[in-house]
Amino acid sequence: MRTNTALLGRTLRLAPLVAAAVLTLPACGATSGDGTPDPSAAPAPSSSGGAGAATADQRGSGADAEATSAEGPLAGTTVVIDPGHNGGNADAAGKISELVDAGHGHKACDTVGAESADGYTEHAFNWDVSERLRDSLEDEGAEVVLTREDDKGVGPCITERAEIGNEARADAAISIHADGGPSSGRGFHVIRPGELDGYTDDIAEPSHRLALDVRAEFEEGTGQQRADYIAEEGLDERTDLGGLNLSDVPKVFLEAGNMSNRADAADLADPEWRETAAESVAAGISRFLQRGQKD
């Protein structure tokens, strides 16, 4: 059985995360719902105390000063990044096909993810962007936790991915994906949780705001168009994703592009584009977190 999937950003070591069973799910390619935005809510992100908050006297003392620093506009916040799928999933069909309770029906523990016609895999894209995103957020002072530690393992199940965000008491969580849509379809979309009593009713509003902020910054930063084959205006609302249903913290999924589309795939495979994408997502999360702190 797998051990803890808790991962750490360079800054922070979270206590062992509970591997409770909750389910999350990789979304790529699923159906969409109709999201009706309603921009007026303002729950403040909680500040998750403590860990990683370097004090002044810890800093400047040499090599590890950088690793413990927590200054910047996002100091005191925690962000969980969930790089969708995993590099070992394709060879672990038995494990990842196990059904887990996604909060609104059962789903597979995890899936293999999409792949471009040239063989660029979604899990590799997700991992690369997630690492870049982590670096950007840490540069702003956030504590960052990843839901997996490399791109060679299996899973974790969607339930665990959600639980990691909950255990970290993240101020915001995001699952990074690229879609496997129709080859003629282009563009990105952000998925937010629809209201599901007893599950997402407490996070739907802040997650919606997070989705709007990520959409705005991603669109502006990358120039990527809003998806023309799914979602509405680059926003989708779903109640079938365990990763969202089981989250107790504001969370969204980003489908950064369509790996099945030749033009999108060329962008996704470009390291410079991925850096821009990661920085744009970081800007969206930062906007969400900083606004929350002022509320």
Which one of 45, 88, 113, 193 is in contact with Zn ion (CB under 5 A)?
A: 113
Helical segments of 7-75, H only: 65-68
Say how far apart CA 159 and CA 132 lie, in whole Å: 24
Binding span for Zn ion by CB under 5 A among 22-30, 64-72, 207-215, 280-288: 22-30
Q: Which residues have C-beta within 8 Å of that of residue 131, sequence separation ≥ 6?
A: none
The neighbour count for residue 211, using CB atoms within 10 Å, is 29
Q: How far is the CB of 92 from Zn ion (least distance, A)?
A: 16
**What is the contact mask toward Zn ion in residues 26 to 45, using x (rule: CB under 5 A)?**
x-x-----------------
25 binds Zn ion (CB under 5 A): no
How far apart are CB 1 and Zn ion at their closest, in Å?
A: 24
Residue from 84, 88, 257, 292 in contact with Zn ion (CB under 5 A) = 84
Q: Characterize the bridge pairing of strands 78-83 and 143-146.
A: parallel
Q: Tell me which residues in 225-264 interact with Zn ion (CB under 5 A).
A: none
Alpha-carbon Rg of the chain, whole angstroms?
Answer: 18
Q: In this complex, which beta carbon is closest to Zn ion, that of residue 85 or of residue 209?
A: 85
Kindly indicate which of the ranges 6-14, 78-86, 191-199, 257-265 contains the residues binding Zn ion, using the contact rule CB under 5 A.
78-86
User: Are the beta carbons of 98 and 242 closer than 8 angstroms?
Assistant: no
Number of residues in the chain: 295
The two tokens of residue 135 are: 């670096």
Look at residues 237, 130, 239 and name the one whose alpha carbon lies nearest to residue 191.
Answer: 237
Rounded to the nearest angstrom, the gap between the alpha carbon of residue 139 and the centroid of all alpha carbons in its chain is: 18
Stretch that binds Zn ion, among 57-65, 108-116, 142-150, 273-281 (CB under 5 A): 108-116
Residue 123 or 132: which CB sits closer to Zn ion? 123
Q: What is the DSSP string of 228-251?
A: SSSSBTTEEEES--HHHHT-SS-E
Give phi and psi for 230, each to the nearest 5: -160, 160
Burial class (CB in 10 A: 0-12, 13-18, 19+), 271: exposed
Q: Where are the beta strands (DSSP E) in 164-263?
A: 172-179, 189-193, 235-238, 251-258
- The smaller minimum CB distance to Zn ion, of residues 140 and 255, is found at 255
Closer to Zn ion by Cβ: residue 177 or 251? 177
Is 98 a residue of the active site? no
CB of 180 to Zn ion, least distance (A): 8
Nearer Cβ to Zn ion (147/286): 147
> How big is the site for Zn ion, counted in residues (CB under 5 A)?
5
User: What string marks each residue from 167 to 206 as x (binds Zn ion by CB under 5 A) or -?
Assistant: ----------x-----------------------------
Task: With beta carbons less than 8 A apart as the criterion, state whether 156 and 235 touch.
Answer: no
Between 179 and 248, CB nearer to Zn ion: 179
Beta bridge partners of 192: 237
User: In this chain, which stretch among 23-31, 58-66, 70-78, 139-147 interacts with Zn ion, using CB under 5 A?
Assistant: 23-31
Active-site residue, selected from the candidate residues 140, 143, 255, 279: 255
Residues designated catalytic: 255
List residues near Zn ion by CB under 5 A: 26, 28, 84, 113, 177
